[in-house]
Copies of this chain bind each other. A is one copy, B any other.
Amino acid sequence: MLGLPAAAAVAASATPPAGAQTTGDPLPSWNEGQAKRAILSFVRVATDPASPQFVRNEDRIATFDQDGTLWVEHPVYAQVVFALDRVVALAPEHPQWKNVEPFKTVLSGNQGRIAALSLKDLETILAATHTGMTEEDFQAIAAAWIAKARNARWDRPYTGLVYQPMLEAMQYLRLAGFKTYIVTGGGQAFVRAYAAQTYGVAPEQVIGSAIKTKYAYDKNGRAVLIREPSLLLNNNLSGKAEDIYLFLGRRPHAAFGNSSGDRQMLEYTQGNGGARLMMLVLHDDAEREYAYGPARGLPDTKIGTFPQSLYDEALSRSWNVISMKNDWKTLFKAAD
Given the contacts A223-B264, A225-B241, A225-B242, A204 and B271 also touching, CB distance less than 8 Å? no
CB A327 to nearest CB in B, in angstroms, measures 26
Q: With A223-B271, A238-B215 in contact, is A58–B249 under 8 Å at CB?
A: no
Query: Which of the listed residues A188, A224, A245 has the most CB atoms from chain B within 10 Å of its own CB?
Result: A245
Chain B residues, CB < 8 A from A246: 188, 210, 213, 232
For the complex, would chain A's binding face be called helix, strand, loop or mixed by DSSP majority? Answer: helix
Residues on the B chain within 8 Å of A232, using CB = 246
- Tally of chain A residues near chain B (CB < 8 A): 35
Count of this chain's copies in the oligomeric assembly: 2
- Residue A206 at the chain B interface, CB threshold 8 Å: yes
A268, CB-defined interface residue at 8 Å: yes
Residue numbers in B under 8 Å from A202 (CB-CB): 58
- Take A203-B249, A249-B204 as given contacts and tell me if A215 and B188 are in contact as well, using a CB distance cutoff of 8 Å: no
Contact A223 B135 (CB under 8 A): no
Closest residue of B by beta carbon distance from A210: B246
Q: Digitize A208-246: 1 where CB-to-B-CB distance is under 8 Å, 0 elsewhere.
A: 001011110000001111000000100000100110011
Residues 81 to 102 of chain A near chain B (Cβ within 8 Å): none
Is B249 a contact of A189 with CB atoms below 8 Å?
yes
Q: Which of A58, A246, A268, A271 has the most CB of B within 10 A?
A: A246
